[in-house]
Amino acid sequence: MSWPSWLPLRADLQNLSPYGAPQIDGVIHLNTNENPFPLPTEVAAAITSRISEVAKSLNRYPDRDAMALRTKLARYINGLSHTSFTCDDIWAANGSNEILQTLLLACGGSASLVLGFTPSYSVHPLIAQITGTPWIQGNRTEDFELDVESAITKIRETSPKLVFVTTPNNPTGNLIPLSHLRKLAESAAAESALLIIDEAYQEFSTEDSAVTLISEFANVVVTRTMSKAFAFAGARVGYLIARPELVHAMLIVRLPYHLSAITQAAAEVALEHQEQLQAEVQLLISERERVVAGLLKAGLRTIPSSANFLLFTGFPQSSADLWQRFLDRGVLIRDVGLAGYLRVTIGSPEENDQFLAVLEEIAA
């Protein structure tokens, strides 16, 4: 788009388009890695009831530091990882995208290089650009693995201030073993760099969370979200786990009262109903394996996934062609810009049946 001369948009942003996947009505949505299951009625009712209490005091600003929510998030992580984090080790915001942006506002900028290994979550370089932080591109292998030794060499050669890794990785689904993350943390520490480990899909993985590295390495930050396993994408709640000094740095750059009283209340209720909200995670994992089998049966290949989506390849058409064929048959999947690959989110069993039926029809 060409911008009018009266609009003083930064020169380095003028060629960008807004980030986002197509939102199309009347099709099944297997394109944004959401959890397909609606909230159980009793959890939705508990949220409504808490919000109607909170509504009476919406004349007041919310708890600026979201202490109750951060305490509950710390408890949630401690329950999963046998750690002893408190609210001082947690920061929460409107989705983990905001967490990532806040991190770069605090620690990025023109004097701080940020290194990432692609293909990975495309919002990482976008946030780098928006915060004016020079991005250095590292690569994954042909099979999309993160080769730890070459990653360490890249860290040593480029001396970044921030290093992004994603595990399980989006859009490829594969994970980085904890032993490799430890080596990366060591290597980043030698350069006085933060290692930002994006664990948006951690609950779908069998690998331990990297939060256990934080007591060993002050430079490790783990970012997570309630959008996926908690089926809470619409509420917009993300958080990070890190040393208290880093959390304090977040307080410097966050906007005052950034997390509304309604969001905080809803997220607290969701955490109180963790088991009910995550009840379908195992089903999604077994559905993932069923979809893998269907893709293999159609003569395609998948990247081993520890997340709620699959990257697949081996089709004769271009990615754009096959994407369109799925859409024409009512199934919206994601063309992630990797030639010869497409990504499908694991949906409900019925949605997956529909995806597999279309696949069979197209492959026939």
Ligand X SMILES: Cc1ncc(COP(=O)(O)O)c(C=O)c1O
Which residues are bridge partners to 84 per DSSP? none
Cβ proximity to ligand X, 96 vs 263, nearer residue: 96
Nearest-CA neighbor of 131 among 93, 100, 154, 173? 100
Which residues are bridge partners to 163 per DSSP? 115, 195
| Site track 16-55 with ligand X (rule: CB under 6 A), x = hit | -----------------x----------------------
At 250, is the secondary structure helix, strand, or coil? helix
With CB under 6 A as the contact rule, the residue among 119, 125, 238, 294 that binds ligand X is 238
Cβ proximity to ligand X, 68 vs 233, nearer residue: 233
Cβ proximity to ligand X, 198 vs 203, nearer residue: 198
Residue 173 binds to ligand X (criterion: CB under 6 A): no
Cβ proximity to ligand X, 230 vs 312, nearer residue: 230
Work out whether the CA dihedral 154, 156, 158, 163 comes out positive or negative.
positive
| Site track 248-287 with ligand X (rule: CB under 6 A), x = hit | ----------------------------------------
Cβ proximity to ligand X, 222 vs 358, nearer residue: 222
Q: What's the rounded Cα separation, in Å, for the pair 277 and 280?
A: 7
Q: What's the rounded Cα separation, in Å, for the pair 155 and 143?
A: 21
Instruction: Compute the least distance from the CB of residue 166 to ligand X, in Å.
Output: 5
DSSP state of 226: S
Residue list 59-118, contact with ligand X (CB under 6 A): 95-97
Q: What's the rounded Cα separation, in Å, for the pair 101 and 107?
A: 10
With CB under 6 A as the contact rule, the residue among 91, 138, 146, 198 that binds ligand X is 198
With CB under 6 A as the contact rule, the residue among 81, 170, 308, 352 that binds ligand X is 170
Nearest-CA neighbor of 242 among 127, 77, 123? 77
With CB under 6 A as the contact rule, the residue among 131, 209, 227, 274 that binds ligand X is 227
Instruction: Compute the least distance from the CB of residue 91 to ligand X, in Å.
Output: 13
Q: At what angle do helices 96-107 and 244-253 cross, to 10 degrees?
A: 90
Instruction: Compute the least distance from the CB of residue 306 to ligand X, in Å.
Output: 12
Nearest-CA neighbor of 74 among 208, 239, 200? 239
Contact assessment for residue 145 and residue 169, using Cβ atoms and an 8 Å cutoff: no
Instruction: Compute the least distance from the CB of residue 230 to ligand X, in Å.
Output: 10
Residue 121 binds to ligand X (criterion: CB under 6 A): yes
Rg (CA), the chain: 21
Q: What's the rounded Cα separation, in Å, for the pair 256 and 18?
A: 25
Q: Does residue 349 have a cis peptide bond before it, meaning omega lies within 30 degrees of 0?
A: no
Q: What's the rounded Cα separation, in Å, for the pair 94 and 236?
A: 5
Nearest-CA neighbor of 120 among 303, 356, 289, 286? 303
Q: By Cβ distance, which residue is nearest to ligand X?
A: 95
Cβ proximity to ligand X, 96 vs 354, nearer residue: 96
| Site track 311-350 with ligand X (rule: CB under 6 A), x = hit | ----------------------------------------
Residue 167 binds to ligand X (criterion: CB under 6 A): no
With CB under 6 A as the contact rule, the residue among 200, 269, 292, 336 that binds ligand X is 200
Nearest-CA neighbor of 296 among 239, 360, 210, 215? 360
Residue 225 binds to ligand X (criterion: CB under 6 A): yes
Residues in the interface with ligand X (CB under 6 A) total 13
- Residues engaged in binding ligand X (CB under 6 A): 33, 95-97, 121, 166, 170, 198, 200, 225, 227, 233, 238
